[in-house]
Structure 1
Amino acid sequence: MSPAGDDARRLRVDLDIDPPDTWDCPMVTETDRATDVRINAVGDECTVDLHSDDGEGLIRADGEVTEDCLCHVFGEFGCVPHVRGVDDGTLLVTTYVADRELVRDVVEALQETLGRVRLVRLAVVEGPDATEQVTFDLSSLTPKQREGLELAVVNGYFDDDADVSLGELADELDISKSALSQRLRTAQAKLVTDVFDEADR
């Protein structure tokens, strides 16, 4: 049972993670494409089962849990990584968190440890059955819109107690405040429109 309780609202976070070429994990060293990835990490050792899409069938491999291990990074925040697959070295990962602040912390830690991380989808889930209430599919945005929105979310720009300004975010992207503001407004409008379109179906 999570600290917030079974009835707490949570966020489902879907991520694409591109680890560095030197990352020594069976999930990417054993095959380029896989589905139904199962990880069993105990102490400093882990076993990974992968259903390879390269015609090799089930692959079982052993690895070592280190500080740059996916399981270790998620574990630091009390999160469980559900690896949905591997696509040409990119890990497709889902996890559940209690709030947006934790999304930011997890993404920042993954970026520092594993390299490029893309926030693909956020969904609000509620109740013991984790029924999805609202889903934001970020894949419908342009690369620039998604880049701006990811930066804003990761830095807590939308949090009630936000400690980052639009100008600071714009400086990081090397664009004007008005350009970033326009990107965020357009991205938010697109996401909200998609949500209501989905609800009407």
Structure 2
Amino acid sequence: MNSTPGQTTASTFDLVECSLYAEFDVRVDPIEWCPLVELDPPVDVQHQQFRDETCLIDVRTHSDEPRTIRITQECDSLCPSKVLTDAGYIPRLNEIRPERVVIGIPLGDRTEVQDVVGRLRSVAESVTLRKLVQLGTDSSAETTMDLTDLTDKQRETVTLAITRGYYRQPRHASVDDIADELDISAAAVSQRLGAAESKVMRQVFDTLADGCE
């Protein structure tokens, strides 16, 4: 992966089977055991690795006196990053708050989105997709689906739709299936998905229009 996900250019809404970059909003119980939450935000995690049950993190603080520090901490089994690392993924902490972390992760294909969400939900209160980037062979062929402008309910519904295979061909889940899992009506699911898809489609075509100027 030789590009920065936040700088990719959308070219199509159709997500084909290829390498992806995904970013997740992971809401957890207050993680007082993690020393990162004691630092004044924003905090830039430059490097993180696990050695047995020990977590080593290099972070850059952006306080009045910015500095890079190394944190060594015995890792709790509830750590979202460790759960993913133990499963063979390479997560990156993009944002850390006392009750929320944003994790970016490169994936082999769309099927891994469901696996990652399932693993994160084993240690988190909720997990929603923030961004999904299709990584092409060059930057002009990449597609970004940015979900940060959606409401929480829309993001929850889209995340579930993606992980359950609603957008696959043929579909692996129906609107009724998603409605049953969320315990809401099928009409509410359709409304949320329609509104979310409209916002995402506008992003794609706005980007295409900018590229044609």
* TM-score class, shorter: 0.7 to 0.9
Amino acid paired to 2:125: G
Identity %: 30
Partner Cα separation in structure 2 for residue 105 and residue 37 of structure 1? 25
2:26 aligns to what?
17
Are 1:195 and 2:204 an aligned pair? yes
Tell me which of 153, 175, 180 is aligned to 1:171: 180
CA drift of 1:163 comes to 4.0
The 1:125–1:168 alpha-carbon spacing in structure 2 relative to 1, beyond 3 Å, is same
Bigger relative contact order, structure 1 or 2 (CA pairs below 8 A, ≥6 apart): 2
Report how many aligned residue pairs link the two structures.
Answer: 194
Deviations, residues 103-159 of structure 1 (Å, cap 9, x unaligned): 1110121122133323111110023x6776111110222333222111211222223
* Paired residues of 1:103 and 1:154 also in contact (CA < 8 A): yes
Q: In structure 1, list runs of 5 or more residues that go unmatched.
A: 2-7
Runs of 4+ in 1 over 6 A off after TM superposition: 129-132
| TM-score normalised to structure 2 length | 0.77
SS in 2 for 1:14: strand
TM-score, length basis structure 1: 0.81
Residue 9 (structure 1) shift? 2.4
Alignment map for 1:52-91 (pairs within 5 Å):
52-55=61-64, 57-87=67-97, 89-91=99-101
Equivalent of 1:108 in 111, 118, 121: 118
CA deviation string 1:65-107 (max 9, x = no partner): 3432333211244210112232455322211112222111101
Structure 2 segments unaligned to the other structure (5+ residues): 2-16
- Residues 1:131 and 1:52: Cα distance change in structure 2 (over 3 Å): farther
